[in-house]
Amino acid sequence: MPSPFDVLQVDPDADEETVHRAYRRRVKEVHPDQGGSAREFQLVQSAYETIVDGSADSWYETNGTDEPATAAESAPEPERDPNVYVEYLDYEAVVANGWELGDDELFRKARRAGLAEESYGSFEVEPGDYLLEAAEEQGFDWPFSCRGGACANCAVLVVDGALEMTVDNVLSDELVAQGIQLSCIGTPVTDDLQVVYNVKDLPGLEELQLPSRMN
Ligand code: FES
């Protein structure tokens, strides 16, 4: 029987974020709507819960394997997904929960807080696509106005990874250095990206806003 780590195709010493990303990828791969089976889907869910609960050690005791095999030994290297994995968090949820933007544990806290999907979650962006459009394709109503780099309504704070803006824009070098980017003209250029969206009211951005528009 494959171990929880084998099921998620991660090393037994993988950190929580790596496990979380592997879970998201595996869930997509084995989802019944994507050609997987309900059994595989449950197996992946159960493996994730076992690892996150910290009960993987008892799994080995029960199943009689002394040393967990590393993912490299036990599973073929997964094919690299060309899409960018984006994890997002609504700034309103940051404020409502009393969290700080500079907190290294911010996304870890968000993952465990049971937030609604519009406040926290993840989606994939195809190479070259704009972040705002990708969010809208998922059905989300992220703030925007001009859609051309001339306001700060669509601003996001990049916490991890990188977003490249494709045209001139209104942001000062100082704001960009703080991690502020515009999602309407921003394309993710790293494999993974963590952003806090809806940061348009942060100092330095409020005065750059235009009247908001809705889809
Ligand atoms: S909506 Fe105005 S810069 Fe993005």
CA of 147 to the centre of ligand 1 (A): 4
Around ligand 1, the residues with Cβ closer than 6 Å are 144-147, 149-151, 153-154, 182, 184
CA of 170 to the centre of ligand 1 (A): 9
Tokens of 124: 């994939």
- The pLDDT mean for the chain works out to 87
The protein residue whose alpha carbon is closest to atom 3 in ligand 1 is 149
Q: Report the C-alpha gap between 31 and 47 in whole angstroms.
A: 15
The answer to whether the predicted template modeling score (pTM) of the entire model surpasses 0.75 is: no
Instruction: Report percent pLDDT > 70 for the chain.
Output: 89
Distances (CA, A) of 4 to 54, 108, 111, 166: 11, 21, 20, 42
CATH topology of domain 4-74: Helix Hairpins (1.10.287)
Q: What is the tens place of the pLDDT at every residue in 172-203?
A: 999 999 999 999 999 999 999 999 999 999 99
What is the pLDDT at residue 47? 86
CATH topology of domain 84-208: Ubiquitin-like (UB roll) (3.10.20)
Are 21 and 80 in contact by the 8 Å Cβ rule? The answer is no
What is the pLDDT at residue 164? 95
Which sequence spans correspond to the domains of the chain? 4-74, 84-208
DSSP line for the chain = ---HHHHHT--TT--HHHHHHHHHHHHHHH-GGGT--HHHHHHHHHHHHHHHTT-HHHHHHHHT-SSPPPHHHHSPPPPPPSSEEEEEEEHHHHHHTT--TT-TTHHHHHHHTT--TTTEEEEEE-TT--HHHHHHHTT----BSSSSSSSSTTEEEEEES-EEE-S--S--HHHHHTTEEETTSEEE-SSEEEEEE--TTSTTTGGG----B--
CA of 8 to the centre of ligand 1 (A): 38
Q: What is the tens place of the pLDDT at every residue in 28-75?
A: 777 766 677 777 877 888 888 888 878 777 777 777 665 555 555 555
Atom of ligand 1 nearest to the CA of 148: 3
Atom of ligand 1 nearest to the CA of 170: 3
Distance of CA 194 to the CA centre of its chain: 5
